[in-house]
Amino acid sequence: MAGLELLSDQGYRLDGRKPSELRKVQARMGIFTRADGSAYIEQGNTKALAVVYGPHEVRGSRSKTLHDRAVINCQYSMATFSTAERKRRPHGDRKSSEMSLHLKQTFEAAILTQLYPRSQIDIYVKILQSDGGNYSACVNAATLAVIDAGIPIRDYVCACSAGFVEDTPLVDLCHAEETGSGTAVALALLPRGGQIALLQMDARLHQDHLDPVMEAAMTACRSLGQVLDGVVRQHLQEVSILTGE
Amino acid sequence: MSLLKLCVPGDRLCGAEDCIPGTGTYLRHGYIFASLAGYVLRKNEGEELPIISVVKETEAQLLPDVGAIVTCKVTSINPRFAKVHVLYVGSTPLKDNFRGTIRKEDVRATEKDKVEMYKSFRPGDIVLAKVISLGDVQSNYLLTTAENELGVVVAHNEAGIQMIPISWCEMQCPHTHVKEFRKVAPVQSEYLQA
């Protein structure tokens, strides 16, 4: 983009952050009582809502039941008003289907599905406002919702996006950086074990630059893990007070 | 039971040599990790190693397991099996219906070949049963009532009046005194109010 400077000479980004700085993350758990688990998260201006139902009996096609573990069903959608230009198809388009598949693969790696044979876990995620990092916000919101539902999970699944501008890795890209810089890496990490649940990269990047970008994204994921940890512990304290522990 | 300690998924609780993993935990690389957000519970149940588990404040969704006593409602009858909806596992209600099947051979323990389904259950009856298998694709849970304490606990006749059990295989209407056949569970009368 001509005239738009993603990284200034002093090392500041468009919104005043340093390259390794995350946007402000705010999250809440248990916002819907009718769902088994629910969570809401804001990462900067990106707002995501996640609900989890289950484990329950497999509905619809019975033939997709797995005899040894649960089936995970993910649905990703964006509200029509979530982007600057109103979307005509909030779900069902190619990008939403691809994102739903990514979410499904991410949580199949994290949830202990073998504890619930012949059952189904539904995860629905909706983007209310989009400002870059949609996948990260969805994964973080769904992680909180799964923990709220009491489904056993190996570790927090923390996701973050990263980019590369002027030989500097950036983390937690906003919309302008996603469209302007070209390079975008999306990483989902289980921070304590260090396993990568999902890795996605668009556009061109030299192989020598991949390691610093990955390292920056993993560091950001660990920071996000601490934020999610604080949210979960605070929620546990509140629930304890309510139940008179 | 030691002090209650908060833990979240991924927390390392102890080594595999110190404890036995219980519910809400998993074992990996010689350590026990938490898989639920809740409180750590350490119990010594006579073994040399204590069992460590994670207990959640609000109980999560329960699934019927093999050996669980479930309360179900009969939805349809045919000569070979009865279709039921599982409503309770033990005394915990389920949010979603789970479908189950009581086969003709599993209705009672004696004279299995002479069982007649329409003399054992009717649609709408409330039945106590035990899960014997997770089943297959068609039928989900396989249930049995082939024990003395299992069978029909609540039944209504065609007029909608709740009948009283008078023997292990008969129930009677308190108004018209008409008898109907059921595979009856001997439930105390005070429990029927609950």
Where are the extended beta strands (E) located within B5-144? 5-7, 12-15, 20-21, 25-28, 31-34, 38-43, 51-55, 69-77, 81-89, 92-103, 126-133, 141-144
Bond into B9 cis (ω within 30):
no
- Write out chain B residues lying below 8 Å of A193, CB-based: 10, 28
Residues of A contacting chain B (CB within 8 angstroms): 36, 54-57, 62-63, 65, 67, 112, 116-119, 147, 149-156, 190-193, 229, 232-233, 235-237, 239-240, 243, 245
In chain A, DSSP finds a helix count (H) and a strand count (E) of 4, 9
Shortest Cα distance, chain A CAs vs residue B34, angstroms: 7
Domain boundaries, chain A: 25-243
Write down the pLDDT at residue A127. 93
B41 SS3 class: strand
Out of B6, B96, B134, the one facing A233 most closely (by C-beta) is B6
Amino acid at B120: S
**Bridge partners for A164 per DSSP:** A169
Write down the pLDDT at residue B58. 58
Bond into A55 cis (ω within 30):
yes
- Write out chain A residues lying below 8 Å of B56, CB-based: 150
What angle (nearest 5°) sits at the alpha carbon of residue A225, between those of residues B12 and A23? 170
Neighbours of B170 (CB within 10 A): 15
B25 and B13 in contact (C-beta within 8 Å)? yes
B139 confidence band (pLDDT: 50, 70, 90): low
Quick check: B8 and A153 CB within 8 A? no
- Write out chain A residues lying below 8 Å of B12, CB-based: 192
Q: Mind listing the domains of chain B with CATH numbers?
A: 2-59 (2.40.50.100), 69-191 (2.40.50.140)
Quick check: A57 and B33 CB within 8 A? no
Quick check: B26 and A193 CB within 8 A? no
Q: Which H or E run contains A211?
A: helix A207-242
Please name the CATH architecture into which domain A25-243 falls: 2-Layer Sandwich (3.30)
- The nearest alpha carbon in chain A to B7 belongs to A233
pLDDT in tens, chain A (245 residues): 455 668 777 788 888 988 988 888 989 788 888 788 999 999 899 999 899 987 887 767 657 677 788 989 898 998 989 988 777 666 677 778 988 988 998 998 999 888 888 788 999 998 999 988 999 999 999 999 999 898 998 888 999 999 988 788 988 998 888 888 777 889 999 897 888 998 988 787 888 888 899 889 999 998 989 899 899 988 887 877 766 64
Amino acid at B103: R
**Bridge partners for B154 per DSSP:** B126
Out of B8, B12, B137, the one facing A63 most closely (by C-beta) is B137
The first and second tokens of residue A157, run together, are: 């699944």
Angstrom distance (rounded) from CA B120 to CA A99: 51
